[in-house]
Homo-oligomer: A and B are copies of this chain.
Amino acid sequence: MTAHTVAPGGPHQAREVREDVDDLVRRRVPGQSLEAPFYTSQEVYERDLDVVFGQNWIFVAAAAEIPEPGDFVTVEVGAWSVILVRDDDEQVQAFHNVCRHRGSRLLPERQGSVGNIVCPYHRWTYGVDGKLMFAESQPPTFDKSCFSLRSVHVRNLAGLVFICLAQDAPEDFDAVAEVIEPHLRPYELDKAKVAVTYDLPEAGNWKLVMENNRECYHCDGHPELITAYFPLFAYEAEDITPRLKPLYDRYVKAGDALAKVRADHGLPVRDHRELDTRQVGFQLSHLPLDGEGKSFAPNGGAVCSKLLGSVKDAAFGDLSLHMQPNSWFHLLSDHAVVFSVLPTSTGTSTLRTTWLVHPDAVEGVDYDLDALTMVWRATNDQDRALVAGTQVGCTNPGYVPGPYSMVEDDVEAFVNWYVTRLREAIA
């Protein structure tokens, strides 16, 4: 008997996969979950870093985290470390967080504020525009202009900061931004205040975290979250029984009301779904909320007394934005929550969640931090447990891919987008 009579995957899948990432990609079967090595093998993880995180636009921060010139955050993407800094023209710049001399990390902190960027090792000094200003004991032939910090592509989309680590960034970001920006504009996120940022370590491959976010088939496990929405996630039209009809009618009515409110603001109302039909895949939806219809308070009420930006009506629904490969966003009248997933190893990731409120909102006066963050802290933690259980499950050689249900179409769209990127890279 050979090893191959063992269940698919098998304890030495990493070995087999070494030569076979391309085969894995080619033989992927639509309509069902991916084979185990996509979640467990070092080779696929490295391929993901190269082809997905190394080649695509990824969401990494809210521009509101660096409001002033010299303010910076550092972002870890796999082994990459990138400095996001607001320059003297108030533009967001992105640089590799590594000295041009002998490679010391420049800024070890998660965030802070600097005049110049000074290497802790030999004091090489760079401006916030990345230019090398000073380096001691150099020969006359030394040309400072050849040793600026290496820049990274960056876009600030209405206050959401995206980077691309490739030398040539995908070109359709601007086209997508043109569609999305008018929807985001009224919330004025670039000027918002960061209420808090939490990093949640996930014991699962980054794709399992994303797949978990892309369906509500498991939302029975999210009691805090589902009270805000109309609990019709797992239902198709034909599932609407007489018992559900009143709820369904209320849902349709709330949707119409929301469309009217947005029209009154002169805002676009149309939803967009291009999750797997372009490289910068996204989905934008305006979701009505249940109860008071305002925000995430248990009764559907507001969690902050000041509305964001130019929003005038508290019953503004939930602008839900999903972007491939690593982010999602919920914008409500009184606050926004922005999410990014970043891989840290084959079987681990970090989910960063940032809550944004009106720049003048005062904690303890206009909002209570626990109440503001309660729904998504609880939801993230519930999902963390489900993702960890799936990672350990997929690692089991007894795992075989199973079929997606009728309500997991966005999961499949995510996987389609992902596999398409890998196929393009192979081609």
Contacts and interface: CB of A to CB of B under 8 A. Distances in A.
B81 A150 contact: no
Interface stretch (A62-70, A119-127, A255-263): A119-127
A405 interface: yes
A218 B103 contact: no
Given A1-B55, A137-B406, A406-B138, A105 B11 contact: no
Interface in A85-120: 96-106, 108, 120
Contact of A407 (B49, B79, B137): B137
Interface stretch (A160-168, A287-295, A359-367): A160-168
A317 interface: no
Interface string A34-59: 00100000010011011100110000
Nearest to A170: B1
A286 B168 CA distance: 54
A99 B398 CA distance: 9
A394 B97 CA distance: 10
B150 A400 contact: yes
Interface in A197-215: 211
A80 interface: yes
A152 B398 CA distance: 9
Say which size band chain A's interface belongs to.
35 or more
A217 to B, nearest CB: 5
A375 to B, nearest CB: 20
Given A386-B121, A389-B105, A398 B54 contact: no
Contacts of A2: 425
A323 to B, nearest CB: 20
B398 A81 contact: yes
A7 B389 contact: no
A390 B102 contact: yes
Contacts of A220: 123
Contact of A121 (B10, B50, B390): B390
B12 A50 contact: yes
A42 B399 CA distance: 22
Nearest to A105: B393
A259 B406 CA distance: 68
| Copies of this protein in the complex | 3
A173 interface: no
B150 A103 contact: no
A305 interface: no
Tell which of A11, A137, A152, A403 has the most Cβ of chain B within 10 Å.
Answer: A11
A145 interface: no
Interface in A212-269: 217-218, 220-221, 234-236, 239
Interface string A7-39: 100111001000000000000000001001000
Contacts of A175: none
Interface string A136-151: 1111001000010010
Given A11-B50, A392-B81, A402 B103 contact: yes
Nearest to A33: B102
B389 A80 contact: no
B33 A405 contact: no
A342 B136 CA distance: 31
Interface of A: 1-3, 5-7, 10-12, 15, 33, 36, 43, 46-47, 49-51, 54-55, 78-82, 96-106, 108, 120-123, 135-139, 142, 147, 150, 152, 165-168, 211, 217-218, 220-221, 234-236, 239, 385-386, 389-390, 392-403, 405-407, 424-425
8 contacts: A7-B96, A11-B49, A99-B402, A101-B403, A135-B405, A137-B235, A137-B407, A138-B405
